[in-house]
Amino acid sequence: MEFLKKLFSGKGRELKDETSEAVFMYSQCEKCQEKFRNRIDKQFDLIMNYEDSGPAYRAHKELIGARCRNTIIFDLEFDQQKRLTGKSIQRGQFITREEYEEQTSDNTLE
C-alpha cells in the first residue's frame, strides 16, 4: 500500500519548467496580482518562423484571468531544437514557479 501512496503522491519527483514536450511559464497580472501557470506544448503551440533572421519558432499567448479583464500578452522565442531563448510580456510580469506555488499553497490553507 505504501508503494501506491508514493506512486500517486508526486513526492520525490523533480518538477521541471522545460521538458522535451513542453515549457511551463508563470506570470502575474499587473492590475489584480492574479497568478497564472501556462503549459506551452512544443509540438502544437509553436509557430515556425520562415524569415531568414530571428528565432526558429515563436509562441504567442493571451491570458484573461478570473479577477479582472486585463489581457496579459506574452511572446516566446525558441531555437531550432525548440529550447526557449527569449520571452517578453505586456500588462503583467513573469514570476518563478516558487512564487506561483506560494499562492496555490495559501489557497489550500483557507
Q: State pTM to two decimals.
A: 0.75
Range list of H helices, the chain: 2-9, 97-109
Instruction: Report the residue count for the chain.
Output: 110
For the cut 60, the answer to whether the pLDDT of residue 15 exceeds it is no
Locate the domains of the chain by residue range: 15-104
Quick one: cell of 84? Answer: 526557449
Closest residue by Cα to residue 70 from 29, 28, 21: 29
Per-residue pLDDT of 31-75, as tens digits, reads 999 999 999 999 999 999 998 888 999 999 999 999 999 999 999
